[in-house]
Chains A and B, each alone.
Chain A
């Protein structure tokens, strides 16, 4: 085990997979010589050459489409989109092309396409550079949606993404690139669809992903001060979703709080809540709590930005509400 940064973990994944297969290549804006705005691709140009590490003009629809076409034709492209906000320009290619090809060809066509991008708030980059748009991709059948929260997952999931055959929206977080964590030495792969218990507990289940994981862990620390043992579950991949792990935890704690940075309306948290209520209703001792972003674009002002997305105290408060709720059977009396 070594302690490395999230961005270094991503680079290791790319490096190892590029070394392993000459079909893997990267295109994006400023990713070659400059190494990308978040320094994920630094050094790869020198190692793999301009054929496999290519800068593109600012033309997101074109470059996403070209990546999808290359994947259909049998290569393994990684398209880096600087901000998830800019992926909106390529939605046709993602939604109508990448996601559909497998079914439309009766299963004979596959699209081993990886779009790496980052989202989320932080640092006052305002409304067009701060969105959490995972629900858009989550909604589209045919796409995998990956949201690593720690370096080990970032590495293991990206390596897995590059070896499987469906289009993957690999969603990083701008605030996580410089965070550190332990990453196993040698080959390290994390399969899709396997949630990770980031902190075990028995009193309440906190479900979160991406940058909400560190914040939720802080909230769990806070709760621990009052003797409350929160279990923190990170699905790591939203599609496929490890619902068994979630249901198992809820069966143990009887309480669920779902935390997402994205706006509340039409979000992934709502869908997870619906799964829990449908499949674990009788395990619940309290209503499911959702802690989510406000239904607004992200403001520039730092204090307002902070007020737009869940903070530690919001998560603690939701957990306490859940714990203090009367069991449903009693409440009815």
Chain B
């Protein structure tokens, strides 16, 4: 979030490392989070972002402090890429008072409005109008902040996708809509939910600058978002980005994803965004293997520390809950 966008074609070591760290942190959070879920420590729904890390990572690296994001039901990755404290994220998953929402929100509702994160959302597609609204608020306040809504192939079929993107268009809002097209809405294949699976074309139909990008290539996502943000800040937004990607597993922790053909999964796993972030860092910065191992160990340690923090945090009392209720 704080990295200054790099204009030249050769990305700085700092940026490459930031991208790798973010992608890897999401990978660890999800992998380890699933273990916590299986141990029964996390309740409710847990929709892993595994396989899609390149998108949140690339997009958020191109934004600035003061910008806004709105997320999906698969929101951990966006939250982490936005710079969230993973201790408070784990605490939220464990329903603790120290969590982002004191345990009132959970996996699907982590938000941090103080940092411009409008939150994950349990309603597919709902983040789009909310993000446009934040962009509108910023325009009215005279801010040049950019708002990004992450939505999904499923979300693109909700009516508010068109309604609110159209509002962003007629009002030239600093708004970037990122469709994470992972090919499925639960088990429904994209081919079954739309005739033209190139979802970026929907923006073209209403005069919105629209692009398609390989969502598993974090640097490509980063570059495109950087341009889109510049377009917005020049008063020429909104911009739509369709990022093609694939989940590495079923829809949520308890979905084995049997409907996902082995060969397609293998194709995408061979294009793993975390590996690509690591490869880019290695190839373009000359970092040595030891440093990579150290970064990975550091992030793993950070997660373990977060789990300890969450486990030792307390839950809200019913008395505190009643105090809150009394304000309603």
Contacts of A63 in B (CB 8 A): 163, 167
> What is the minimal beta-carbon distance from B64 to any residue of chain A, in angstroms?
16
Size of interface on A: residues with Cβ below 8 Å to B? 39
Known: A69-B133, A70-B134. A104 touches B118 (CB 8 A): no
Q: Is A52 an interface residue when CB atoms closer than 8 A count as contact? A: yes
5 CB < 8 A contacts A-B = A62-B129, A70-B137, A77-B136, A105-B111, A107-B324
Task: Report the Cα distance A158→B205, complex, angstroms.
Answer: 39
Residue pair B164, A65 in contact (C-beta under 8 Å)? yes
Q: Is A280 an interface residue when CB atoms closer than 8 A count as contact? A: no
Count of A-B contacts with CB under 8 A?
Answer: 147
Q: Is A296 an interface residue when CB atoms closer than 8 A count as contact? A: no
Q: Is A75 an interface residue when CB atoms closer than 8 A count as contact? A: yes
Of the four ranges (under 10, 10 to 19, 20 to 34, 35 or more), the interface on chain B belongs to: 35 or more
> What is the minimal beta-carbon distance from B270 to any residue of chain A, in angstroms?
38
> What is the minimal beta-carbon distance from A242 to any residue of chain B, in angstroms?
15
Residue pair B126, A104 in contact (C-beta under 8 Å)? no
Please, what's the 1-or-0 string for A166-206, where 1 marks a CB less than 8 Å from any CB in chain B? 00000000000000000000000000000000000000000
> Which residue of B101, B119, B164, B324 contacts A62 across the interface (Cβ within 8 Å)?
B164
Residue pair B137, A109 in contact (C-beta under 8 Å)? no
> What is the minimal beta-carbon distance from A259 to any residue of chain B, in angstroms?
27
Residue pair A104, B129 in contact (C-beta under 8 Å)? no
Contacts of B109 in A (CB 8 A): 104-105
Residue pair A97, B126 in contact (C-beta under 8 Å)? yes
Task: Report the Cα distance A96→B125, complex, angstroms.
Answer: 12
Contacts of A97 in B (CB 8 A): 121, 123, 126, 130
> What is the minimal beta-carbon distance from B114 to any residue of chain A, in angstroms?
7
Query: Would you list the 6 A-B pairs with minimal beta carbon distance, nearest first?
Result: A69-B133, A65-B129, A62-B163, A106-B102, A69-B130, A75-B137
Please, what's the 1-or-0 string for B89-127, where 1 marks a CB less than 8 Å from any CB in chain A? 000000000011111110001011110101101110010
Q: Is B267 an interface residue when CB atoms closer than 8 A count as contact? A: no
> Which residue of A57, A77, A109, A142 contacts B113 across the interface (Cβ within 8 Å)?
A109
Task: Report the Cα distance A85→B163, complex, angstroms.
Answer: 18
